[in-house]
Amino acid sequence: MPQAVTAIVRLAPEWEQPASRAFCSGLEATSRQVPRETVIHTGRNLIFRQRVGGDEVAVKRFPVNGGRRLVYRFRASKAVRSFDHAAHLVAMGIGTPRPLAAVEVRRKGALFASFYCCKFVPTLGEARLLKRADVPGREELLALLGDFVGGLHESGVLHRDLTSGNVLLVPDSARPGGFAFQLVDLNRMRFGPVGVRAGLANLAQLRLQDTGSLLAGYCRARGLGVSRARSYYGFRLELRSVAQAVKERTRPVRRRLGL
């Protein structure tokens, strides 16, 4: 097998130091022996945390399978897109863990894996907690989440994987409720005007049991009438449920095909 070549494709200015560069250059080897207690998520993509110098860092490894390697000869890797999108959000003042590095591992020019490094952020959990009806203050939290997503869309930000697991609740005493929302899993995003229908379809991706508070918060942020938005939002929720069921049933086949 050809020798792997590791390249640091993006590096934040504050990480321009020997220890950080050495860490990035050794990520492929490090990812093969991650201590269990530092693992945040396992599955198709591995996420783990590690201290590098004075920083607590979260690292996400994106493997590349089969025919997808050809695609990445012409397209930016998921790590590079994650870094660039995060940097854009930070510049806009939108919450996301601060990007630190994007690293690619190639063999004969073909991408085998990429790594996205960002600052590790302690959280109160993810927005998926709001799927539970017994969460204290749930309706107020749903309204705040709707307001947050509406603000994103008004700012021209569309997170194309806006699941409830990709919105973090981060402690922030200066914000209503004592927390702020932050976005993660940023490799699929679009920047530009977000129409009403596209925005409501995006809101439906959260798949939260909405009694009306989420939609009301969203409409308030965008200056929309709730009655105008409700029917299309309900339609998109039903469509999202069907799409999710199909996705779950076809997941094993898609994984085998590297899709």
Question: pLDDT by residue (tens digit) across 53-106?
Answer: 889 999 999 999 877 777 778 889 999 999 999 999 999 999 999 999 999 999
Q: Name the helix (H) or strand (E) containing 48.
A: strand 46-52
Query: What is the DSSP-derived secondary structure letter of residue 3?
Result: P
pLDDT in tens, 130-144: 999 898 899 999 999
Q: Which of 31-45, 64-78, 146-160 has the lowest mean pLDDT?
A: 64-78
**DSSP E strand boundaries for 33-192:** 39-41, 46-52, 55-63, 99-107, 110-119, 125-126, 157-159, 167-171, 179-183, 189-191
pTM over cut 0.75 = yes
Taking only Cα atoms into account, the Rg of the chain, rounded to an integer number of angstroms, comes to: 19
pLDDT at 211: 82
pLDDT in tens, 212-228: 999 999 999 999 999 98
pLDDT at 143: 96
Q: Are 105 and 62 in contact (CB under 8 A)?
A: no
Does residue 258 carry a pLDDT above 60?
no
Torsion from C-alpha of 178, 180, 184, 189, nearest 10 degrees? 160
Confidence of residue 108 (pLDDT cuts 50, 70, 90): confident
Does residue 259 carry a pLDDT above 60?
no
State how far the Cα of 150 lies from the Cα of 159, in Å rounded to an integer. Answer: 12
Q: How far is Cα of residue 87 from the mean position of the Cα atoms in its chain?
A: 13
The fold of 5-119 is Phosphorylase Kinase; domain 1 (3.30.200)
Q: Where are the domains of the chain?
A: 5-119, 125-249
Average pLDDT, the chain: 92
CATH class, 125-249 region: mainly alpha
pLDDT at 240: 87
